[in-house]
Amino acid sequence: MTITNNPPAIEPRSSTLTFPTFIETLRSNPACAPWIGPYGGVPPFDRIVAEHLEPALRAGMEEQLTEMSRITNNTEPPTFENTIAALERSGKALERAESIFSILSSSVSNDHLRALEEQVVPLLSAHGDRIIQDERLFARIEAVYRDRNTAGLSPEQIRLVSLTYKSFERSGATLSATDKAELSSINHKLATLYTRFSQNVLKAESEALFIGTEAELDGVPDTLKEAMARAATDLGKPESWAIVNTRSIIEPLLKHAHNRPLRQRAFELFSARADGGLHDNNPLISEIAQLRAQHAKLLGYRTHAHLQLEETMAKTPQQALQLLKDVWNIALQRAREELNEVRELAAREGFYEPIEPWDFRYYQEKVRAERYNLNEAEITPYLQVDKLRDGMFYAASRLLQLSFQRVQSGSVPTYHPDVEVWEVVGKLGEHVGLLYFDPYWHDGKQSGAWMREYRSQQRLDSTVTPLVSNDSNFMKGTAGQPALLTWTDATTLFHEFGHALHGLCSNVTYPSLSGAQVSGDFVELPSQLFERWLETTDILTGFALHYKTSEPMPLELVERIRQAQNFNSGFTTVEYLICAIADMELHLAGDVPIDPKTFEREILERLEVPREIVMRHRMPHFLHVFGGAEYSAGYYSYFWADTLAADAWEAFLEAGSPWDQTTASLLHTHILSAGNVREPQDSYRGFRGRDAGIMALMRQRGFLKHAGEG
């Protein structure tokens, strides 16, 4: 089956495609051949069939190994050009194939793709090890690194040399042959486990609750019921309502449903993802943690956490933990106050049973309505996906002089009919890049929201413009009705667009330094900063339009939203911090065997977390940490980056306007366009003129009173 603009899924065809050589595959296989067409070439989703994927990945690996041989067999002395730049130019077919494969696996997954993923991910891991462990290649890199400051290189080139050398060194290039073999074995096992973990979560999230009578949904806003009805139809059960196992459905249901047993079922469906049963991830967690500890020790690090944080802004696990613990007691005190308010209101309404986790949000929403005359059901009708998308485009235009033009349907292939493609144009009318916008949940799509770079900006040999995507799991409205968002979902929309701007605004020479390829505790700065523009008057009154009347959000409602902006800040901060602390402490434990259920219970007890509050991401479905290595011992980075984002937002406020052009220009120059050409601390200082402190975050979360400073 071909992946067209309207595919049900990618499936194997009955025939088998064969390619005589990997060279022929590189030319004829659309999953790895150079992208052609407009905008510097685009992924040919309309020409890819399932059988293309494995040959494309294998051919890409073969091509890159051939390119590595050319580098190592070069008889000329190692130089930046014949070694480092040559590395930058290598592996392009594999990059294209991996990009296509990753997009399809996360967005239109099915049994065939999952089986293929289990097969090829370990092969890709072994391929990477083969390159890293090539002694002749590393000897050339080391020679260029040794002479980097005397070879007449530019600062960007010196930065690239240093990062390349450190990457190889931190990946085992200097180990003995025996240790390299052991490291490869560990990497192979981890790659396999990451795939299994992610697939278990995806399978668990495919489960849904179907409600047969509307009476069971008493209290649920009509807009949410309409989305649930649409989801049930999509899942083949019309005349019912589907509680899809995604946050965009579960959280608003927990806030509004009067039916307590239904809230409990929905909460447990979401909270227990991959925790037992056919898709149990608990055994994998312990194995992943121990393998990571062994991996770190082989490389000379005390723990996996020390390895992961060495090249971040935090530098050490202790410094990251200190930031989390500096706020913990303050946030916990606030959360306990919020819980007492919930208990008091519940008692006034005649509910005297212990508050359970599936009750907390329900009564929180009642407290907010009582205190601020504000209910999320009043806000949601104004939060249309398409209108807010236009609002975030407006913000980018006003801040960065970017414009967004919808690409004519069919002129750029997509993997699903929901995907929109937008051309991004600069202030002089120049083409900047493309944004693929895929906002909606559909069967086979990974949960959550993310930004992906299909192709990174660079100008090594020619100008290459970026292709980026924003992907979410918002629920569609019923036929003829717009999709509506909760405030949390709207914040997510703006968050991911901040990541997209980081990729689109990149202006560097070398692809490895491009866009969002920065340390994990810096990469979340643009995204968390851009969330703040959702709250501005211009966005809320200009683009938050009622889906029935098209009337803008009234200023008095905007004011009530602002007055309530720190409502439940204790709960949300504690909910996050538990996860960040647990992630770090698990990876500081070394290779001690860990039972995930016991570990989770004990850390909640030791932190004295009220039983009504659970981890935002429980261990069995903590994809950030166990679905791959990128955010492992790194979930703290959202909080670290939010200290930067809060301080950066105050730079705009100090300038007198969220649209201040001088501040926006500094943001573009030092953060959004700079990629990884400088240390992140230096980039932030270039923007702000100083380092960030924690006080801006404390002010914006309303914690100064609890810190004794207000």
Active site residues: 496
Pairing verdict, β 208-211 and 241-244: antiparallel
Neighbours of 51 (CB within 10 A): 18
CA distance linking residue 71 with residue 131, whole number of Å? 11
Alpha carbon distance 455, 465 (integer Å): 8
Alpha carbons within 13 angstroms on the beta-carbon side of residue 44 total: 18
CB–CB of 299/170 below 8 Å?
yes
Block residue for tokens 């927990």: 254
Alpha-carbon distance of 568 to 334, in angstroms, equals 8
Q: Report the alpha-carbon distance of residue 505 to residue 515 in Å, rounded.
A: 7
Say if strands 431-440 and 467-474 run parallel, antiparallel, or are unpaired: parallel
Which residues partner with 328 through β-bridges? none
Tokens 């150079």 label which residue? Answer: 34
How crowded is residue 660: how many other Cβ atoms within 10 Å of its Cβ?
A: 17
d(CA 4, CA 485): 28
Per DSSP, the three-state class of 17 is: coil
> Residue 277's closest CA among 224, 339, 203?
203
Nearest to 263 by CA among 363, 371, 379: 363
Which phi and psi angles does 95 have, rounded to 5°? -60, -45
C-alpha torsion sign, points 183, 189, 195, 199: negative
Cα torsion angle, 213, 214, 219, 221, sign: positive
Please say whether the beta carbons of 123 and 163 come within 8 A: no
Cβ atoms of residues 251 and 486 within 8 Å: yes
Residue 705 to residue 710: CA distance in whole angstroms: 5
Cβ neighbours, 10 Å, residue 705: 12
Q: Which two tokens stand for residue 268?
A: 């447990």
